[in-house]
Amino acid sequence: MAPEFQQTGVATQESDVYAFGVVVLELLSGEEALKFAFDDNGGYRRVSVIDTAREASGEYGGVRKWVDRRLRDSYPVEVAEKMVRLALECVEEDPNKRPDMGRVAVLVSKFYMESQHWADRIGLPTDFSVSLAPR
């Protein structure tokens, strides 16, 4: 939840942008928004997907290591890095520093097109469907 929503309980467009950023980070990492892990002292420490994304985006090749391993490099790394940066903009502490959803939608569409160009260049099949229904 956005920090201001936690304090006031009032949902705004800015708190929705924050929530969208968290969802994007969850999808890219394959991790929950918040979890607890054992620390070196035998206790627990809080691990946020936002903190791990910030850490990963700050180091060279960090996003590639951070993205869900189940994707096995079957994604354009440059687009994933851009999506992480956009998601981190969405989860800024200050609501006034977050982008509006219109800008976010335009960038996500642009990144989608870039990923389509990447898939076309390497020849990934994208015209298949998967059904999990019983036969």
What is the reported pLDDT for 73?
81
What is the reported pLDDT for 135?
52
Higher per-residue confidence, 58 vs 122? 58
Helices (H), the chain: 3-8, 13-29, 49-57, 62-66, 77-90, 101-122
Q: How many residues does the chain have?
A: 135
pLDDT (tens digit, 9 = 90+) per residue, 66-86?
999 998 888 999 999 999 999
Distance from chain centroid for Cα 120: 23
pTM for the model stands at: 0.83
Which is nearest to 80 in space by CA: 62, 101, 99, 55?
62
For the chain, which domains are there? Answer: 3-121 (1.10.510.10)
Q: If pLDDT is split at 50, 70 and 90, which confidence band does 130 have?
A: low
CA dist 80 and 67 (Å) reads: 8
pLDDT (tens digit, 9 = 90+) per residue, 8-44?
999 999 999 999 999 999 999 999 999 888 888 878 8
What is the reported pLDDT for 124?
63
What is the reported pLDDT for 71?
87
Q: What percent of the chain has pLDDT over 90?
A: 65
Burial of 13 (0-12, 13-18, 19+ CB in 10 A): exposed
Phi and psi at residue 103, in whole multiples of 5°? -65, -40
Q: Which of 50-54, 86-90, 126-130 has the lowest mean pLDDT?
A: 126-130
- Across the chain, what does the average pLDDT equal? 89
Tokens 């903190």 locate to 51
